[in-house]
Structure 1
Amino acid sequence: MFRELDLTRYTLDLPALIHAVSYVVLAVAASLLIHSAVFALLRRIAARTETGADDLVVAKLHAPSRWAILAVGISLVAQVDSWVAYFWLGVSKFVVPALLGWMAFAIVRAFALVLDIRAEAQEELAAARSQRTRIAILSRTATFIIVFITVGLMLLGIPGVRQVGVTLMASAGLAALAVGAAAQPALKSLIAGLQMAITEPVRIGDLVVVDGFTGRIEEIRMSFVVVRMWDERAAIVPTSRLLDTSFENWSRVSEKLSGPVFLHLDPATEVAPIRAEFERFLEQQPEWDHRMGTLVMTEAHPESIELRLGMSSNSIGDLFALRSRVREHMLDWLRREMPDALLRHRLEVEAANARVRP
């Protein structure tokens, strides 16, 4: 690049070089001053509003806008100074696309944060999860597109890469096949992510069962979904798998859920006292939402019977706690009040020997 520079003209013209440096310094100082004044005004305006969304937008745009206004100032100086124009033309091929991409990325991130805050403020949990899922997927899709275009524009500034691009365009058929084959996994993930945002089979915060893993959807990305289990383990599930196979979503419509506790007892057990104790204990539990509270006999075999104690709660976590508490209480009550109802598969050797002794 420097071979095009006339060394006899520029290296010996020291005053011109000093003027160029002076112009650049003045442009940088003026750009920083204008940027500080503009953002000071924006912060005052944002501080007067009740919501904190505009504060987030201003904070996210502060750094990229500062560098962008510096680039604008130097480009203006390049219009009047040949030294600055020479160096700026070489650098601007990379700086301008990078700054534009940074600005677009900052705008996407700022608006994603604003929409996420508004989604969390909603009272309806299902609608909030739906909005957060769409925001996460669409913002990542926009980020991927911004990065792809930015890198492409920066690479086009390199003469060798541009020549390769022209060669590939000349052989468009072969290039299309090669690019299509190489980009198939990325395009599949991109399409699966967009389909996930539109159809919403799962949302951030849903409780799901996938491939034997039970947990909450913690994060949804273009290529995979993170399922956080109760013991803090994380299962990484490909996004396409959630669209191609069946899975359970326990909170698809609402967090309200019902669940059973099973008791296997002796066939001679009287059921009415157990039902009365179950209903009495259930009335005292704050997790019960009074939608469902029934005890029915679901199985009857010669050696045992099965009682199903159904209950419901407003959230999945409350239901788990309620079922655990009911299970513990009913077994303890049976041991104290109706010990003959519990099944025994033990050899009572001493009692048997006592019965057969003369």
Structure 2
Amino acid sequence: MNSALWTITATLGAAVVALAVVEVAHRIVRRLGHRSLLLRELADHAYRPFQVAITSLAVEAAVRATGGDFAGRDHVLHLLVLVVITAFAWLLGSLALAFEDVALTRFRTDVPDNLRARKLQTQVQVLRRVTVAAVVVVTVGVMLMTFPNVRTIGASLLASAGIIGVVAALAAQSTLSNIFAGLQLTFSDALRIDDVVVVEEEWGRIEALTLTHVVVQIWDDRRLIMPSTYFTTRPFENWTRTGSAVLGTAEFDLDWSVPVQDMREELRVLLEGSQLWDGRVCVLQVTDAVGGMIRVRALVSANDAPTLWDLRCLVREHFVAWVRDRQPTSLPRIRTEVGDGGSNRLAWQWVRPTGPHEVRPAAPAAPTQPDDDARVFGGSPEGDARAADFEGPPDLPEPGEERP
């Protein structure tokens, strides 16, 4: 009885001392946390697991040190050892999460230039899941090794680990491939959180990137769940691979009579008065002239994909009204000749030479240089940079011709 009372008294005393030490340490760290973000995160995340770990360790040490012999002492000590292992695993996981939260806090993603922050956030989130999984697996393994029977059969399990590993790899081939694909996406910097992508003809942002799947938030708030292997085995569009600024087009099929230069000047006036335009690219060109109509393409730029979408819609709406109200003759038309073309009474046949000797060659037109708004590659520093990026290889010499 005295031995049992002494064990209980020592255990309670050790628990009280441990709780007091933890409380003092917590108050000191919390006070210092006003100057350090890391200490503040440790005080918030690690306080409870640290309290449980130190208290359980003190209780286990007190029971073992008293040496009291009572019924079930071995089972109590074994249970306390399991509690200590679990508590320290919890503490280790909390410390890892605190360091990861500090890393995420230092790099904000709600700023215009957030490329590095999104890259770090993606890697930290994947590492967090890997850390938690590793801590859980190691903790379970250590706890199982405290049982004598499990320790006895450990040698046979290791001997057959090769066969078991092969069987497990074959059974979990799809899962393992997704896990390795998730790690590849994270550390190859091919995909990041908040990247704008086009997948399966759907446009959206990367909302979550895990070890096994990727969640794409579609523009209409739907979620597209894709396996990680999709992004390592199939092509996809990443609009924010090196930056968020993008280019977009608005195309119009119009009649040949449309004044292209007036339309180009109108585009410039429209963009300069809009907050959606980032001031980089304003180009209007005729990209096709087949079948009785011409195709006019307006190329514009914006800071990000959502802004570009609104800007393209604005350009379309403006020029729909501009052509309808100010250039109604430029609306698409289909022409049909009615009558005898041989009588030379059609409008396009009214002016013609009266004889073969009166045909005078037209004076050669002076070469004109297109203005900046009519050139995608050139005419501005940005256009010259695009031309340099997309410049083709040098001309190859003809067979038998020596390269100079």
Q: TM range, normalised to the smaller chain? A: 0.7 to 0.9
**Which residue in the other structure is 1:79 paired with?**
65
Counterparts of 2:221 and 2:69, CA distance in 1: 60
2:131 is aligned with 1:146? no
- Cα distance change of structure 1 residues 69 and 265 upon mapping to structure 2, 3 Å threshold: same
Judge which range, 306-315 or 138-147, deviates more: 138-147
**Which residue in the other structure is 1:52 paired with?**
37
**Which residue in the other structure is 2:233 paired with?**
244
2:74 is aligned with 1:89? no
**Which residue in the other structure is 1:284 paired with?**
273
Amino acid at match of 1:130: K
Give the CA deviation at 1:15. Answer: 2.9
Equivalent pair of 2:248/2:300 in contact (CA under 8 Å): yes
Counterparts of 2:250 and 2:194, CA distance in 1: 25
Counterparts of 1:227 and 1:17, CA distance in 2: 61
The DSSP-based 3-state class of the residue aligned with 1:124 is coil
Equivalent pair of 1:112/1:139 in contact (CA under 8 Å): yes
Counterparts of 1:113 and 1:309, CA distance in 2: 45
Percent of residue pairs identical: 29
TM (norm. structure 1) is 0.85
Give the CA deviation at 1:164. Answer: 4.7
Instruction: Tell me how large the CA RMSD over aligned residues is.
Output: 2.2
Counterparts of 1:135 and 1:204, CA distance in 2: 11
1:179 to 150, 168, 171: 168
**Which residue in the other structure is 1:103 paired with?**
91
Counterparts of 1:123 and 1:340, CA distance in 2: 44
Counterparts of 2:244 and 2:227, CA distance in 1: 25
**Which residue in the other structure is 1:69 paired with?**
54
Post-superposition Cα deviations, 1:256-287, rounded to whole Å, max 9, x if no partner, equal 11111111112332322222211111111112
Give the CA deviation at 1:83. Answer: 5.0
Counterparts of 2:193 and 2:106, CA distance in 1: 15
- Cα distance change of structure 1 residues 206 and 76 upon mapping to structure 2, 3 Å threshold: same
Counterparts of 1:315 and 1:233, CA distance in 2: 20
**Which residue in the other structure is 1:320 paired with?**
309
1:259 to 223, 248, 256: 248
Amino acid at match of 1:36: E
Give the CA deviation at 1:158. Answer: 4.0
**Which residue in the other structure is 1:339 paired with?**
328
Counterparts of 1:81 and 1:183, CA distance in 2: 49
Counterparts of 1:120 and 1:302, CA distance in 2: 53
Counterparts of 2:69 and 2:33, CA distance in 1: 41
**Which residue in the other structure is 1:18 paired with?**
5
Equivalent pair of 1:299/1:306 in contact (CA under 8 Å): yes
2:106 to 118, 128, 131: 118
TM (norm. structure 2) is 0.76
Counterparts of 2:96 and 2:60, CA distance in 1: 26
Counterparts of 2:203 and 2:90, CA distance in 1: 39
**Which residue in the other structure is 2:362 paired with?**
none
Post-superposition Cα deviations, 1:313-346, rounded to whole Å, max 9, x if no partner, equal 122222122111111111112221122322368x
Counterparts of 2:138 and 2:306, CA distance in 1: 44
Equivalent pair of 2:10/2:66 in contact (CA under 8 Å): no
**Structure with greater Cα Rg:** 2
1:298 to 264, 267, 287: 287
- Cα distance change of structure 1 residues 344 and 62 upon mapping to structure 2, 3 Å threshold: farther
- Cα distance change of structure 1 residues 73 and 93 upon mapping to structure 2, 3 Å threshold: closer
- Cα distance change of structure 1 residues 145 and 102 upon mapping to structure 2, 3 Å threshold: same
Give the CA deviation at 1:125. Answer: 1.3
Equivalent pair of 1:223/1:239 in contact (CA under 8 Å): yes
Structure 1 stretches lacking a partner, 5+ long: 1-13, 346-358
2:188 to 189, 196, 199: 199
Question: When the two structures are aligned, how many residues end up with a matched partner?
Answer: 330
Equivalent pair of 2:195/2:205 in contact (CA under 8 Å): yes
- Cα distance change of structure 1 residues 83 and 258 upon mapping to structure 2, 3 Å threshold: farther
Equivalent pair of 2:196/2:239 in contact (CA under 8 Å): yes
The DSSP-based 3-state class of the residue aligned with 1:79 is helix
Counterparts of 1:193 and 1:319, CA distance in 2: 30
Give the CA deviation at 1:172. Answer: 4.0
Post-superposition Cα deviations, 1:214-257, rounded to whole Å, max 9, x if no partner, equal 11111110111111111111111111221121111000000111
Equivalent pair of 1:129/1:204 in contact (CA under 8 Å): yes
